[in-house]
Amino acid sequence: MHTRTLGQGLQVSAIGFGAMGMSQSFGPNPGDRDDMVGVIRHAIDAGVTFIDTAEVYGPFDNEELVGDAIAPVRDQVVVATKFGFDLVTGESKGVDSRPSTIRAAVEGSLRRLKVDTIDLLYQHRVDPDVPIEDVAGTVGDLIAEGKARHFGLSEPGVRTLRRAHATTPVTAVQNEYSLWTRDPEQDILPALRELGIGLVAFSPLGKGFLTGAIKPGHQFGEGEYRASTPRFSQDGIEANYRLVERVTALAASHDATPGQVALAWLLARESFIVPIPGTRRRERVDENAAATQVALSADDIAELTALIDTVGVAGDRYAADAMKMVGIESAEKE
């Protein structure tokens, strides 16, 4: 596995692992917890040593799962987690990045992850009621105390990013970025390039859509948040499947899968981009890791990049109520 360097010198595997789906959002959680621990350890054995979690995933269960998985190999792993929600009752009541909340969240994360230091600590979503300088300053203090090594932000606006970075240097921004979610290209990517900050791309496979596994007529199971997402409505799937067909055709010419091509395209965009696909299956771990071996030509990259204009994408990436709940709307309008 190749490595990449995010801002402030943080070296990570070129493909990371997003653990969220092991605890929520993609239908019933796996019954065999030990098997999920095994999947994460399989990823580490395959060289995928950048593991992403958050206190809100579950909540709390995902950090405990990741903590158990990485315990025997802590020195081989870069672990990222996130604060930023009011979870006093165990359910998210909205964003909360008050300094006291940050500190309480970090203490809980350290305990659940069974680590002394969090390698990359993100603010999960911007809190409009707390100045970002207070957030960045609190994380800076935690770094000075040895409880965190690096500071990150998820889904910030550019002005917020610049203000945070001026207070405590930002190592990475985590945004949704893929062949069918191109929002970071407008403002965030140029700012990251200028400031020397990495981009960690979540949902790099379009929440599974870009693998070709979700076809017109697909029925989602109980508990699947994609079922309420406009892009995954029946009309949305049918319209958007044209994108998958084009990616699949290109993948066939490279003896690769559509998912591998989607990841290889991201890797080719910028040297500071690190995708973090998630999965519950070992074979998908291996498939994703092998995307680093897919060599796309300049023409391939240009063709894939143009798909958003030539084919288009139907539907928003979140339902309106979900956008408001997680604070994305305010960041995008900043």
103 vs 29: CA distance, rounded Å: 29
β-strand partners of 3: 13
One-letter amino acid at 89 equals T
Q: The dihedral of CA 253, 256, 259, 263: what is its sign? A: negative
104, HSE (Cβ side, Cα atoms, 13 Å): 11
CA-nearest of 294, 327, 331 to 94 is 327
Residue pair 51/12 in contact (Cβ under 8 Å)? The answer is no
Catalytic residues: 57
Task: Decide: 288 and 18 in contact? Cβ < 8 Å.
Answer: no
What is the C-alpha separation between 54 and 109, in angstroms, rounded? 8
- Confirm if 157 and 332 have CB atoms less than 8 A apart: yes
Enter the tokens of residue 200.
């960690």
- As a residue count, the chain comes to 334
Instruction: Tell me how many degrees the CA angle 15-186-231 measures, rounded to the nearest 5.
Output: 70
Strands (E), the chain: 3-6, 10-13, 17-18, 50-52, 78-83, 118-123, 148-154, 170-176, 198-202, 273-275
Rounded CA-CA distance 283/191 in Å is: 36
Q: How many CB atoms lie within 10 A of CB 88?
A: 10
N- to C-terminal Cα distance for the chain?
37
